[in-house]
Amino acid sequence: MNFFKTNAHWLALTAIAAASVSATVLLLKDVKDFPDALEKLYPRQVTPKKPAALDLSQLETATKLVASPGQWTTAHSTLLFVSEPYLMEPEGPKRPKEGSIHRHSKTGQAIPNSWFLQFKLPLRTNNISMEDSDGDGFTNEEEWLAGTDPTNPDSHPPLVTKLFFVRQVEVHNRVSFLQYLGEPSKPETLKITVRLDDVAKKPQAEVKIGDTIPGTEIKLVGFVQRRKDDVGVKGTKADGTSITVDGSLVNLADAKTGGTSDAEIKGRAADFVDKTITLHLNYSKENREMTTKPGQTVTLGASEPYTVIDSTPAGATLKNADGKLVEIRPAQSE
């Protein structure tokens, strides 16, 4: 008892300290619980957050890949995982695109293997160069030579390559100049005598400049006096004396052929040739013969016009729409 009496102040102090600690603990607890109590009394209005937009780019890329998946390919026209074909040569295997195993049947030119492969033609078929793969009437070797597409019937060489010369028939109409009456300085007044050398009985006619010779389409269009020193045509008298002879000319034109020619008095006759040319279009879709003349136009197919220029016994010369001359020769015998 004496202890408590003597240490009463310490006991009071200890009690006060214990009470302070308890009050502090209770205060801290109340502070901790205060937000929850306040939330219960006055609930907060919470606005929900908008979620962030999703990145769908990878999903879109994947969808496109699924819709059009990639394909394995090869650099040659064979099945996947199958080697390109090789040709067995004496020196060893060789790629088909190298060299050539077909030749043009007429020119002997080597047709590159690469050309057949370019158009997916069966290179190893023996007569592939002679086949008509697109049915346009031209063989593959003809299409190769012309640079056209052997798999497209609308692409083919010009039809003129199928045109051949058959023959020409010439009809001569010669006119001789026999004499003239009148003053040469006034040619329009001259009476000129001519003879038709290729007509039965060789009839003669007297005409003036501008007249058409009867029975023909040949017109007398001019007169040129040539005598003495104007031309070096000389003769000799019986006694050996030199004399100058008349070498005058008449100019004639044929309205039928459009040709012109000169006749020398008592000398060279004017010669008008009327040519008839026969050509043969040897084409599977249009096989026909045609007869034409110089100056006329022949049309092949629907849109290939050619003007006939001239012919010889060996062939004919045509001109296309671009003005390029084309030589037509007889067909070669097989």
Question: Taking the CB of residue 219, how many other CB atoms lie within 10 A of it?
Answer: 17
> Would you say residue 207 has pLDDT above 70?
yes
Structure tokens at 75: 């650099």
Point out which residues pair with 263 in neighbouring strands.
250
Q: What is the pLDDT of residue 31?
A: 61
Q: What is the pLDDT of residues 212-256, one digit of tens each?
A: 999 999 999 999 998 754 444 555 555 655 666 788 999 999 998
Q: What is the pLDDT of residue 5?
A: 61
Average pLDDT over residues 76-88: 65
113: helix, strand or coil: helix
Q: What is the pLDDT of residue 284?
A: 87
> Would you say residue 4 has pLDDT above 60?
no
Q: What percent of the chain has pLDDT over 90?
A: 52
Q: What is the pLDDT of residues 170-198, one digit of tens each?
A: 999 999 999 999 998 999 999 999 999 99
Query: Between residues 229 and 114, which one has the greater pLDDT?
Result: 114
65: helix, strand or coil: helix
Q: What is the pLDDT of residue 93?
A: 73
Q: What is the pLDDT of residue 23?
A: 72
Q: What is the pLDDT of residue 230?
A: 45
Q: What is the pLDDT of residue 239?
A: 60
One-letter amino acid at 146 equals A
Average pLDDT over residues 300-328: 94
Give the C-alpha separation, 138 to 119, whole Å: 15
pTM of the model: 0.59
Q: What is the pLDDT of residue 38?
A: 64
Q: What is the pLDDT of residues 154-165, one digit of tens each?
A: 999 999 999 999
Question: Taking the CB of residue 139, how many other CB atoms lie within 10 A of it?
Answer: 20
Q: What is the pLDDT of residue 84?
A: 66
DSSP strand E in 182-256: where?
A: 191-196, 204-207, 218-224, 234-236, 242-244, 249-254
Q: What is the pLDDT of residues 8-42, one digit of tens each?
A: 666 677 777 777 777 776 766 766 666 676 677 76
Q: Which of 2-6, 229-233, 258-262, 272-276 has the lowest mean pLDDT?
A: 229-233
Average pLDDT, the chain: 84
Tokens 């040539």 — which residue?
226
Query: Between residues 84 and 235, which one has the greater pLDDT?
Result: 84
3-class secondary structure for the chain? CHHHHHCHHHHHHHHHHHHHHHHHHHHHHHHHHHHHHHHHHCCCCCCCCCCCCCCCHHHHHHHHHHHCCCCCCCCCCCCCCCCCCCEEECCEEECCCCCCCEECCCCCCEECHHHHHHCCCCCCCCCHHHCCCCCCCCCHHHHHHHCCCCCCCCCCCCHHHHEEEEEEEEEEEEEEEEEEECCCCCHHHCEEEEEECCCCCCCEEEECCCCECCCCCEEEEEEECCCHHHCCCEEECCCCCEEECCCCEEEEEECCCCCEEEEEECCCCEEEEEEEEEEEECCCCCCEEEEECCCCEEEECCCEEEEEEEEECCEEEEECCCCCEEEECCCCCC
Q: What is the pLDDT of residue 269?
A: 95
Give the C-alpha separation, 128 to 123, whole Å: 7
> Would you say residue 334 has pLDDT above 80?
no
Q: What is the pLDDT of residue 231?
A: 46
